Amino acid sequence: MTSIARRALCALAAAFICMQWQSGWAQPYPSKVVRIVVPFGAGGPADIYARFLGHQLQESLGQSFIVDDRPGAGSIIGTEIVAKAPPDGYTLLMMSNTHTVNESLVAKKPFTLMKDFVAVAPVNNSDLLLVVHPSVPVKSVKELVALAKAKPRGLNYASSGTGTPYHMAGELFKSLAGVDIVHIPHKGSPEARTSVLSGQVEMMLDAITTMAPFAKAGRVRALGTSGRKRSSVLPDIPTIDEAGVKGYETTIWLGIMAPAGMPKPVIDRLNAEITKIVARPDVKKTWNEQGAEPMSMTPAEFEKYLNNDIAKWAKVVKFSGAKTDQ
């Protein structure tokens, strides 16, 4: 065999090997069922929007996306499951500002958010709604604050668990209003909501997307919303800041993360698909009617957003004195 022929044969072999290597890394994603782990209770905002998102991704990507609710320990249990999963794009985490709070609130965790996970895409954000059971003799935020000051530790507020946005919203309210209200953590937002609806716990700051219908039905009394402006869902209800607790502002937001090491093409594909879904006019309309606002960012922008939120809540945890047994 001549040297020219040998070189040609080697070049052909190298090209073949390269093609095989590339094809091994260019498998279509997803090629099997994708699991979205929700580390919160069934029926709460994270569960509801994870199921919606999973259905839409299934429609656009042609593969099943199943939701796996794994609540407990203020989101730690479900989050650890994802942290230990293979970084192949087939196990995703539906997360919230519970996770950014826990970075400073929970000293001992089996993971570090920005080390063991990668940012994929945000989903949406919504205001919280401050409500009291109708048996509580107040009709405004100012009256609630006056009652709480008159009865230190005489009122209780429910949350979906230590470190969740509902908990931190309550601690922020206590700090800014100068009141001492007892925190009653629950295993999830549905359980906390039930406690307030039944009158077992006097009050709660709950996602407006789930609590507004109960307020409209008169099962709870809405006193204020947590955003910077009034909600279009309950336009007659003032913001908590407007109602007298100056500087009060917080929201609950949701996003998707995945185990660290997930291939960038998979991250980009998921980000692109989620961005398309939340940008659809019908989705925007439906979510706005529920009190939720779609969020769109690149993975890099979402990573920056997460780091900023971790820093924000670290300050709130410090000045509120919030603690956890974990």
Q: What integer pLDDT is reported at residue 286 of this predicted model?
A: 95
Q: What integer pLDDT is reported at residue 162 of this predicted model?
A: 82
| Nearest alpha-carbon partner for 266 in 68, 97, 90 | 90
Q: What integer pLDDT is reported at residue 15 of this predicted model?
A: 45
Q: Cβ distance 119 to 301 under 8 Å?
A: no
Q: What integer pLDDT is reported at residue 4 of this predicted model?
A: 52
Is the backbone of residue 298 left (phi > 0), alpha (psi -120 to 50) or beta?
beta
Q: Where are the alpha helices (DSSP H) in 62-161?
A: 76-83, 97-105, 113-116, 141-150
Q: What is the pLDDT of residues 64-107, one digit of tens each?
A: 999 999 998 889 999 999 999 999 999 999 999 999 999 999 98
For residue 230, count other CB atoms closer than 10 A to its CB.
16
Is the backbone of residue 321 left (phi > 0), alpha (psi -120 to 50) or beta?
left
Q: Which domains can be identified in the chain, with CATH numbers? A: 34-125+252-320 (3.40.190.150), 127-225 (3.40.190.10)
Q: What is the pLDDT of residues 20-44, one digit of tens each?
A: 434 444 568 999 999 999 999 898 8
Q: Cβ distance 122 to 305 under 8 Å?
A: yes
pLDDT tens, per residue, the chain with 326 residues: 555 544 444 445 444 434 443 444 456 899 999 999 999 989 889 999 999 999 999 999 999 999 999 998 889 999 999 999 999 999 999 999 999 999 999 988 999 999 999 999 999 999 999 999 999 999 999 999 999 999 999 999 999 888 888 999 999 999 999 999 999 999 888 899 999 999 999 999 999 999 999 999 999 999 999 999 999 999 999 999 999 999 999 999 999 999 999 999 999 999 999 999 999 999 999 999 999 999 999 999 999 999 999 998 898 888 777 776 55
Q: What integer pLDDT is reported at residue 325 of this predicted model?
A: 55
Q: Cβ distance 36 to 68 under 8 Å?
A: yes
CA pair distance 46, 85, nearest whole angstrom: 20
For the entire predicted model, the pTM comes to: 0.81
CA pair distance 79, 113, nearest whole angstrom: 9
Q: What integer pLDDT is reported at residue 11 of this predicted model?
A: 46
